[in-house]
Amino acid sequence: MRALIIVLFTTSCATTELRSIERMEPAAELARRDVPTCPSCAKDEVRTPAPDPARTRKVNLAQLLAYAEQHAPSLVLARSQRALAQARVNGAGRLLPANPRLETAFGPRVASAGSAFDFEVSLSQEFEIAGQRGLRRQAAKRYAELVEQRIAQARWQARLQIAMAYGNTVVTRERQRIASEQVAFSKELVRAAKRRLKAGDISPLQLKLAEMEVEQAGQSEISVRGAYARARIQLAAVSGWPTATPPEPRGHCRHLQTLPPWKALLERSRTEDPTLAARRKAVDEARARVATEGRVGWPNPAIGLSYAREGDPGGVEGAVHVGSLTLGIDLPLWRRNFKGRATAQADLAVAKVQLEVYSRRMEGRLRAALSAVKVAARRVAHFGDRILPRYRESLHLLRRSFELGEVDLLQVFVARGRLITGQLNFIEAKASHCRALLELESLVGSVVKTKE
């Protein structure tokens, strides 16, 4: 009867563990859950509805980020790790470390008085008494927290990648606009040159040069259009948008002329940087594994019941029935989990070094990124306030002078070349400012705004 009770107890425990595994959430359900990355950007993304690619193509950055929340490949891959964390949590919650052990022995007993049949059966169950289950559950919890923080890190990195691709697409769109304007400008020069040739003011050679400029401007426009199409496809690939109908950016690159103070940025980076938080979680998870592996080599006692039937070879007294309670324990002499403990200690040491190195480098990288943003902002302000208006005014005057016959075609070409160079430099300055601002945000761990 007691043996039957032990069998029923162990079977119930096994059934409980099986049900806990069956309750494990599918990977697809786990992948749809998410945690906020930073308070400042999460609120904006929650308020912005995700667009439908089948109905719209022109989107701003907030709409694209809202769509990427559920479709970006890097985020889908990162969220799939939740299934591994859930499996580890369910596996760590088991009550018994091993299956029950059933042993039996039988055979004849031969003596001078005759022979008889002996039979023996025993059932034992191993138990943990050194707190291994609690440590396993704690280690599994730390691993689940690490996975969630890595998902937050992947979410923030995906946001930065999408913002970078969005800015690159906007810059390429501006280059395409300039190329189209140059084509239109070259065609106007050809029409003005034809009028002046008809009036006898210029030679046919200058008309040919103007027509060649139209062809060269057209070639540049085709090249830039191809670059814009590739940038849109890259933007679609990063955000998870269908590449057959890539999105078109609706808006411009962010520009901050005034930045928050240095101390505020440094404090935010120490508290909101997802990478730094992931390094800290990795240290906590490694420390929990060290504690768990340290208890693996501890002996686990096994308690059981045994029943024996001893036959009487002479047949005088009859068979003897013997029941006993058994207790066994392993002697941890040779196998004490040396490999598991050494590996966990090494992982903890590596995690601590990675955290220390990243923390040391963070301040220097943050200072460099802040300086780059300030320099790029001054370049943008210098171009927009001083250089470009003079170029536009000079081009208008030169084109008017060419139509009136006051300047020749060569002077117009030189002025147009300077304007193109100035506009491209201005666009490059805005692109540099966008890249520097995103680099700064990658270190701060949240969206940088003018007012803190």
What angle, rounded to 10 degrees, do the helices at 388-404 and 132-198 form?
20
Read off the pLDDT band of 169 (50, 70, 90).
Answer: very high
For domain 33-71+128-297+337-444, which architecture applies? Up-down Bundle (1.20)
What is the model's pLDDT at position 423? 81
Q: Rounded CA gap, 143 and 85, in Å?
A: 7
Read off the pLDDT band of 280 (50, 70, 90).
Answer: very high
Read off the pLDDT band of 385 (50, 70, 90).
Answer: low
Read off the pLDDT band of 80 (50, 70, 90).
Answer: very high
pTM: 0.78
Q: Using CB atoms within 10 A of its CB, is residue 75 exposed (0-12), middle (13-18) or buried (19+)? A: buried
What is the model's pLDDT at position 283? 96
**pLDDT higher than threshold 50 for residue 11:** no
Q: Which of 442, 44, 450 is nearest to 273 (CA)?
A: 442
pLDDT digit string (tens) for 325-370? Answer: 999 888 888 878 888 899 999 999 999 999 999 999 988 999 999 8
**pLDDT higher than threshold 80 for residue 134:** yes
- Which of 149-153, 266-270, 390-394, 432-436 is predicted least confidently? 390-394
Q: Which helix (H) or strand (E) holds 321?
A: strand 320-328
- Which of 155-164, 240-249, 318-327, 412-421 is predicted least confidently? 412-421
Q: Rounded CA gap, 95 and 77, in Å?
A: 32
pLDDT digit string (tens) for 40-69? Answer: 444 444 567 888 898 888 999 999 999 999
Higher pLDDT, 318 or 321: 321
